[in-house]
Structure 1
């Protein structure tokens, strides 16, 4: 591990850490030397990730990003395990699909509550730790290319992720002189359990083969493939590292050229 990427002695809190991108990020930060709090609602998947990581991992189940009490109680438990949080990765999110006309107000409210307000809730609670650490503290929001462009049938998700990027940019300016950087990582369609579930749904509803269903997700990627969770994790590691100290307020697309942010 390059000294420029070492996170030895740091405490990273990763939400939605039980699978997919969150699990890959947790593994990668731990390999770089960080102690990692794996936060999520369900214990079983968190335990599985923690077993793979070892002593650098602490499991924080019952962590609902929509509930202030669960966040504050969870943060106290995390502090007892590893001390103040110095790297926050907001990864928890949901992406249900429906046409705009069939998007109920309950679905709309739920997606914004988890994907956008959840980032607000967790960040505001953890912020005193980050500001107390000062130089080198990091907030990394896992957004999406849906926050940089539009996709049909996920209007609530697109709205939430656009909001996450706006929040990222605003907070980056507020914290620039505090030594805390704030950035967003924006993956395109990524090979995660959510995508695999979507493939199964498409196959069942349309009778298409897996290859035909997969083409719906890869056709807009110039590289013609899904993004790998590790690629998102590697970008997150760089943003968390000392070498990214001058990078803040950015929305970095990990999408094979599908979206070129400027």
Structure 2
């Protein structure tokens, strides 16, 4: 399938590792220019080297920006810098680190505020900053908001995800309605069970809690999924590329579950 991404200009937040880096890599593989943003300069340099090595693209087609999602001005400056250097934007992928997994009894107001800043505020600021650039383009533009599948099916003892991430679903649907007439599609990519550093940490915690081996804990996580295996970040990246591409030109306001069949439906 021709995804028609050659020459498209994409900005991805929280993209120096894991899911974000995988999405950036696959976008670059399809011919897009990519700008990746994250806090750490060293991680950004490693991510750029990985993307260039994996895809063979020119180094000038991969830009990096140090950006702290807890600082709204950092986000605005990153969007404006990427749009200026690329001469516009066609694709925005919002992403953020996962909030702590904890029950309400262990959740204080300070943690609640930090999670709001990480999940909701950073996404809203990125969207508000990027949408004018996306609208200005000559062709259709796309937004993909990365949100955990557990937001649509909250788990016990995971109050922070349950409190904030469903709001991104609703926000995406609202923006799809508002910006569709202006040529911008807005969708959510919703992972679970994909092997990242965060999932590996959860697997180790499960092993410690249940007093089983890490391998047994990994198999237990895989058994939660109808597909009976954990996903690879490359699979996630390819799905994001599809949502971002003109190949998905009739898809907007949707939530795509990338979870091996874990979630029965995607209605938050």
Distance 1:220 1:207 in 2: 19
Partner residue, 1:91: 95
Residues 75 and 122, structure 2, Cα contact 8 Å, conserved in 1? no
Match of 1:58 in 2: 63
Q: Does 1:71 align with 2:75?
A: yes
- Farther-moved stretch of structure 1 (108-117 vs 178-187): 108-117
In the TM superposition, what is the alpha-carbon distance from 1:206 to its structure 2 partner? 4.5
Question: In the alignment, which of 113, 117, 134 is matched to residue 130 of structure 1?
Answer: 134
Deviations 1:38-84 (A, max 9, x none): 101111111111012231211101x1223221112222322343221
Residue in 2 aligned with 1:49? 47
Distance in 2 separating the partners of 1:134 and 1:260: 38
The Cα offsets for residues 213-238 of structure 1, whole Å up to 9 and x where unpaired, read as 22453332112222221111111111
TM-score, normalised to structure 2's length? 0.91
Cα deviation for residue 116 of structure 1 reads 1.8
Contact 1:11 1:85 in 2 (8 A): yes
From 206, 210, 227, give the equivalent of 1:202.
Answer: 206
8 A Cα contact 1:147 1:164, kept in partner: no
Task: Output the TM-score relative to the length of structure 1.
Answer: 0.93
Deviations 1:121-144 (A, max 9, x none): 101011110111164200000112
Ranges in structure 2 where 5+ consecutive residues have no aligned partner:
53-58
Q: CA deviation at 1:196?
A: 1.1
Task: Answer yes or no: is 1:121 the counterpart of 2:120.
Answer: no
Residues 146 and 162 in structure 1, CA contact (< 8 A), matched pair in contact too: no
Q: Which runs of 5+ in 1 are unaligned?
A: none
- Aligned pair count reads 259
User: For 1:221, what is the secondary structure of its paired residue?
Assistant: coil
Check conservation: 2:16, 2:43, Cα contact below 8 A: yes
Instruction: Name the SS for the 1:141 alignment partner.
Output: strand
Equivalent of 1:11 in 3, 9, 27: 9
